[in-house]
Amino acid sequence: MSSFTVFDVTFPPQVKQRVIVNTDAKNEADDQYAIVHAILTPSFDLHGIIPAHFGTAKSATSMQDSYDETILLLGLMGLEEEVRVEAGATHAMPDESTPIDSPGAQLIIEEALADDDRPLNIAFYGPLTDMASALLLEPKIADRNIRALWIGGGPWPNGGREYNLSNDIHAANVVMKSKLELWQIPRSTYRTMSVSYAELIEKIYPQGEIGKYLVEQLLEHNARTRPEMEYRSLGDSPCIGIIMDPECGQWTWRPAPTFDQQMHYIHTGQYRPIRVYDNVNTRFIHEDLFAKLAQFIRRGAR
């Protein structure tokens, strides 16, 4: 087998994509794959990971759960000293004017204000609490070169209940009403990211301790919640593919909506356009993760 890997390809620092990952890592079983994928993408300049809350219905300590899961993943990869981790908000915003300050929100502000001409991509796998809080704490970052990518919101044009949105509707409205560049991957798109057990066992499970953990925690989660399933949607992974290649899906610019308390879209047409992805290239995203993980393990074994 060739020892050449993507990690041997040179990506000059000035061309790397600036990235922050915000993740409700212990909510389900798919964030873990998207976290690993971001870490393993050598064209990314990963400035940090922000563990996020996921409400209180599943856990009274959801942000801490996400934090612990993030640290666990880094440990399994032997990278616990290589990636900055800053805790996000422990709960949702109480209204649209009260931010939740946190080390994670301060990381966003710090990197947004950094003297760097490259866009800052912030990938949100869960609620938008930390983005909205950063905007309220330091309003001038809305004029900086930031691009927020959000896995969240119901199908267009009507919307309806969607889990990530449900965990902070106020924050979503703050971001929608802002000037911030926003790329949305709604539920109707991210739900198409299914992979079968057979594929995961064949391509992920053999890849060291991290591969084994990724598959086993997914099987355990499904056994508790959906035991009839033989697949899982890796619904947070589109963020990685879209940062790598913004054309890896079909999208359109649409006036930003807001949300009512039932999570339906309110289309007033008064806010700036956002980019909404109607589909993504699932093959490109899944196969890129499979290959990078295999090469990471192979390279580490040299």
In this structure, are residues 186 and 156 in contact, taking their beta carbons and an 8 Å threshold?
yes
Indicate the burial class of 169 (C-beta count within 10 angstroms; 0-12, 13-18, 19 or more): buried
pLDDT tens digits, 66-75? 999 999 999 9
pLDDT tens digits, 73-132? 999 999 999 999 999 999 999 999 999 999 999 999 999 999 999 999 999 999 999 999
**Statement: the pTM of the whole predicted model exceeds 0.95:** yes
Domain 11-300 in CATH 3.90.245.10? The answer is yes
Contacts for 97-103: CB closer than 8 Å, 24+ residues apart: 97/136, 98/136, 99/132, 99/133, 99/134, 99/135, 99/136, 99/137, 100/129, 100/130, 100/133, 101/133, 101/137, 102/130, 102/133
Question: Can you give the three-state secondary structure of 103-171, one letter per residue?
Answer: HHHHHHHHHHCCCCCCCEEEEECCCCHHHHHHHHHCHHHHHCCEEEEEECCCCCCCECCCHHHHCCHHH
pLDDT classification of 1: cutoffs 50, 70, 90 = low
Cβ neighbours for 145, distance < 8 A, ≥ 6 positions apart:
117, 118, 119, 120
Candidates 168, 179, 188; CA nearest to 250 is 188
pLDDT tens digits, 212-269? 999 999 999 999 999 999 999 999 999 999 999 999 999 999 999 999 999 999 999 9
pLDDT classification of 302: cutoffs 50, 70, 90 = very low
In this structure, are residues 15 and 45 in contact, taking their beta carbons and an 8 Å threshold?
no
Strands (E), the chain: 17-23, 44-51, 120-124, 146-151, 181-185, 194-196, 231-233, 251-255, 258-259, 265-266, 273-277
pLDDT tens digits, 145-200? 999 999 999 999 999 999 999 999 999 999 999 999 999 999 999 999 999 999 99
Q: Is the pLDDT of residue 56 over 70?
A: yes
At residue 2, the pLDDT reads 78
Q: Widest CA span of the chain, in angstroms?
A: 57
> What's the mean pLDDT in 15-43?
98
